[in-house]
Amino acid sequence: MGDKDLGFVGLGIMGKPMAKNLINAGYSVTVYDISATSIEEMATYGASPASSAREVAEKAPVVITMVPDSSDSETAILGPNGVLEGASEGDTVIDMSSIAPATSQKIAALCEAQSVDFLDAPVSGGEPKAIDGTLAVMVGGKSSVFDKYENLINVMASSVVLCGNYGAGNTTKLANQIIVAANIEALAEALVLSKKAGLDPNVVFEAIRGGLAGSTVMEAKAPMMIAGDFNPGFRIRLHQKDLHNALLTGKDLGVPLPVTSIVQQMLGALINGGKADSDHSAIANFLEDMAQSKISGS
């Protein structure tokens, strides 16, 4: 096995383009996902298919995992036929999933007990930046391990920052998700108000985007709200999960998160309304329903 041998577990909306970018960069990538269709697509792209996360780890000294939530990371890495069952002393696991910081710390401890290095390295940027290879990556772990794999992570990213020890990457990601959620909610409130006042949301967007209210969130989500296009780049159910993890972490640390709590409840209501797989910009739908006024349309 050479320096270019990698494993990748989790080929969803984010994982698939990330794995493709690694292949494009010349890495030999062995892949596994619970979806056989995703494995087949990646095999067509040049990846080597595996039948389990364990087999991925047996074939590659470095395994990246990219799965939805804490329980999925535990299953993929610690569970039966998981990464640690196939890993050897000196191997490395890089979990790029967005999970609870305490779970990252648990996984790290069990990896260390097996002499396997670990980084928690969640990402921000959604599907477009996963495709472009311009994700922001927040990393927790030992600086010596980070230094070894920073260039690898940079293949998928435009920003890679070591935030602290185990769990620090996911704590930083939770901070990121709080800000994104609150921005989307505020943007939706503003556009619903503007539309019900008889203004053209496109004009309002153009008028304010260059000022202090302008943001990356506004640039990405205002056009979606105005068009009524909520095809997912990042699904409501996943953002609700992130805010749930933020609230649990806040509870553990004694940090009230009142706005986070309100937006998390909005996301929960949208999930109950059948919109779990809509883009998180569909927070606008909750506010549109309350105001009986749609941002899109005449």
Task: Supply the residues annotated as catalytic.
Answer: 173
CA nearest neighbour of 52 among 43, 41, 39: 39
Question: Taking the CA atoms of the chain, what radius of gyration do you get in angstroms?
Answer: 20
Q: In the chain, which residue ranges form alpha helices assigned H by DSSP? A: 15-24, 36-45, 53-59, 70-78, 83-86, 101-113, 126-132, 143-154, 168-196, 201-208, 216-227, 236-253, 258-272, 283-291
Which positions ≥6 away from 213 have C-beta within 8 Å?
190
Angle (nearest 5°) at CA 176 between 18 and 228: 75
Bridge partners, residue 63, by sequence: 7, 93
Which positions ≥6 away from 44 have C-beta within 8 Å?
none
Question: Measured between alpha carbons, how far is 101 from 185 in angstroms, rounded to an integer?
Answer: 25
Q: How many residues does the chain have?
A: 298
- Asked whether 163 and 169 are in contact (CB, 8 A), the reply is yes
Tokens of 55: 């087999």
- Asked whether 181 and 175 are in contact (CB, 8 A), the reply is no
Amino acid at 100: A
Q: What is the DSSP letter of 95?
A: E
